[in-house]
A and B are shown apart, each in its own frame.
Chain A
Amino acid sequence: MDAVFVLTVDLLAASALLTVVRIVRGPTVLDRIVALDVLVTLIVTAVAVGIARHDTGSSVPLLLVLTLLGFIGSITAAHLVEEREDMR
């Protein structure tokens, strides 16, 4: 069962790396917003795998906070891009 957890976290790390490449390369700010939202969700999945591995309930609230924080951050950043010309 440990091999499954290790493999899952490896896959998540690989996708996080690809997402960071999009954050660096993304021509427009919106690409970065989308990629950062994916990154936050990947962190949520990594924490979920951590919960499954150690069977601890202590970090479940962290999942809730991260999900909502990522959502609010993306909405605010998109609103900022729309309002301010220099942020395009």
Chain B
Amino acid sequence: MRAALDVLSAVLLLTGAAFCVLTAVGVLRFPDPVCRLHAAAKAQTLGVLLILGGTACQVSAHHIVSLALVAVFQLATVPVVGQVVGRTAYRTGAVHRESLVADELEARLAEDERGG
């Protein structure tokens, strides 16, 4: 049983670390702050969840609840950061608006300005 847990946590830890490396490469290579947000939000969250899973296999049972809480916090906070940073990037002009395929925010912003 112990060996099975070791193998499982080894696989989870290494896959999670691989996704963390992919996140860093994505944050480094993508052209636009909003594109980098993709890498930072998605791959990073998966990396953290996998590594927390690998940790949970190694650690005694009563710590698993707090590790699950960390995973829930991670899942709850990353989308909010993505939304706020994305909106700020759009409003401060960090996003090249002509490169956007669909742009629903422009109409809303114009409407907000008109609405006073």
Please encode chain A, from 45 to 87, with 1 for each CB lying within 8 Å of some chain B CB and 0 for all others.
1001101110101001101100110110011001101100000
Question: CA separation between A68 and B70, bound complex, in Å?
Answer: 9
CB distance from B63 to the nearest CB of A (A): 5
Residue pair B27, A34 in contact (C-beta under 8 Å): yes
Select one of B20, B78, B92 contacting A12, CB under 8 A. Answer: B20
Interface SS of B by simple majority: helix
Residue pair B84, A78 in contact (C-beta under 8 Å): yes
Residue pair B20, A68 in contact (C-beta under 8 Å): no
Q: Which residues of B contact A1 (CB under 8 A)?
A: 6, 10
> Which of A16, A38, A51 lies at the interface centre, i.e. has the most chain B CB atoms within 10 A of its CB?
A38
CB distance from B41 to the nearest CB of A (A): 9
Select one of B55, B77, B88, B89 contacting A68, CB under 8 A. Answer: B77
